[in-house]
Structure 1
């Protein structure tokens, strides 16, 4: 399952098939929610439209459900149709570099049944480094029709996570940094540590020393301690940085990979849930 493309591939795609391609800019900063949109307006890849993590790729946080719950899917599918995406459209998503927000949109599109979605390896920075055109022009896109074909088995809620951890029918992984996993630091939430039973696989470790996506062989080695026949549930803080790991696992040949969208922020919203701080 290879969905990562190079800047040169995208340049050729836009040169010959721009009318059948939608490019999406997902740049975002958790510490400055306006930074991504500002960066887009200051310069972006030609034909790109901007989608915002908080406004477009997530619902508003509630008491339970995590800090970045999945968006209302009727609204989400209406939005992607409004920017010109149908089931035949080639969609290419980019971030500043290989960041988590592009993978979040990739997962959402995969979840609603889109089969032609790609990530730009190295993101906007790689595009600029190649010397390719940057524009401030906001494209006008024709509205399309998109009928979702949900892959509902791709996501699990907290009750399913609890059940499968109890009966041992799935492996849970935590995608955050080791320091946050071990509870040594926690910049976002009131509790520190991880969901009991979760194994640690930092999402940034799926990239090579140059910051590019590892190839299939290296990803298989990275996840070598996991069994490809097992169900793998992927979590993080709020269901965003887990998405690169979901894609990496699928690229490495794991077929039963699911996202826990609420992740740690949902787990700790229930006072009765324990938190662990030791390696597992």
Structure 2
């Protein structure tokens, strides 16, 4: 937040560069295939399942895009959990950097993230930018887009390397709980969960159902086509044209909300993340909750 109480949409250093990156977020399987083995490309498998926490590593071992490393949502893309952190707090900067450096990350290398349902790769994309590394892309359509073209998988695990990545957190890419509670007239809060969870009809994960007061609902899955690819930028621009002010997105714990950030970035919008999400919000019993039947 700035001194006048209005949201700073992104920290101003690198704003122009990030604007340029909006149309350079996604890559295709063909693009990636032609660069497999390049010293300047680091490929990362981000598959996960919230219910089965062994799913990601199990699928990786069964077969992954050749040369790709694996990052686990719980162990590598999240930090230590506490009573009021939410389910997936941001990872410690030093620990995150150490993991990325074990893959050989440096400022001149590009990371390409993939998964099998969009949010793991979006989380890594967002985290790398948050910690100061803009050269990151998402394989549009995930591993299935690779398989659809008949490209092979590998079971070989790449060697650890030595990188030079030094994290530099961009704290103005996030909004914290207290800022969200205070709010501003320019803040547009967006709940990225399913409509049923938003309305409070069901809550399969967190102890309280409903949504944050004033939030609108944009289900992160609505940004994707039937093959898990992001909708065209022009379609996304039209979808988000009604959003005024400073968009702040949240989900259950700061993971699937990143899909909305990717989609809005493709549409040319600068978006903030509330990392703690619904799971942090409801960890404080005094925080207000809205349900469909209480509107």
Post-superposition Cα deviations, 1:138-168, rounded to whole Å, max 9, x if no partner, equal 011421111123222101110111122xx32
Residues 12-91 of structure 1 mapped to structure 2, 5 A cutoff: 12-14=34-36, 18-91=38-111
Q: How far apart, CA to CA, are the structure 2 residues paired with 1:261 and 1:114?
A: 19
1:237 aligns with 2:252: yes
**Which residue in 1 is equivalent to 2:115?**
95
Deviation at 1:253, TM superposition (A): 1.1
Q: In the alignment, which residue of structure 1 is the partner of 2:123?
A: 104
Partner residue, 1:114: 133
TM norm structure 2: 0.89
Q: After superposing the two structures, state which structure 1 stretch, 48-57 or 139-148, moved more.
A: 139-148
Determine which of 167, 171, 183 is the counterpart of 1:152.
171
Q: Does 1:136 align with 2:155?
A: yes
Q: Could you tell me which residue of structure 1 aligns to residue 206 of structure 2?
A: 189
RMSD between aligned alpha carbons? 1.4
Alignment pair present for 1:251 and 2:266:
yes
Contact 1:86 1:146 in 2 (8 A): yes
Asked if the contact 2:213–2:289 (Cα under 8 Å) also holds between the matched residues in 1, the reply is yes
Q: Deviations over 1:51-104 (max 9, x none)?
A: 0000000013210010111111111111111111111111100002x4211100
Describe the SS at the equivalent of 2:73: coil
Deviation at 1:223, TM superposition (A): 1.1
SS in 1 for 2:292: coil
Q: Secondary structure at the match of 1:19?
A: coil
Whole-Å Cα distance in 2 between the matches of residues 104 and 168 of structure 1? 28
Alignment partners' CA distance in 1, 2:114 and 2:145: 10
C-alpha contact (below 8 Å) 2:118/2:228 kept by paired residues: no
Q: How many residues align?
A: 272
Any idea what SS the aligned residue of 1:36 has? helix
Partner of 2:145: 126
Partner secondary structure for residue 13 of structure 1: coil
**TM-score under structure 1 length normalisation:** 0.94
**CA distance in 1: counterparts of 2:269 and 2:63, whole angstroms:** 37
Shift of residue 208, structure 1, vs aligned partner? 2.4
Q: Retained in 2: the 8 A contact 1:206–1:222?
A: no
Asked if structure 1 preserves the Cα contact closer than 8 Å seen for 2:142 and 2:228, the reply is no
| Runs of 4+ deviating beyond 3 Å | none
**C-alpha separation in 1, matches of 2:249 and 2:89:** 15
Q: Secondary structure in 2 aligned to 1:135?
A: coil
Three-state SS of the structure 2 residue aligned to 1:176 is coil
- Take 2:144 and 2:226, find their aligned partners in 1: how far apart are those partners? 16
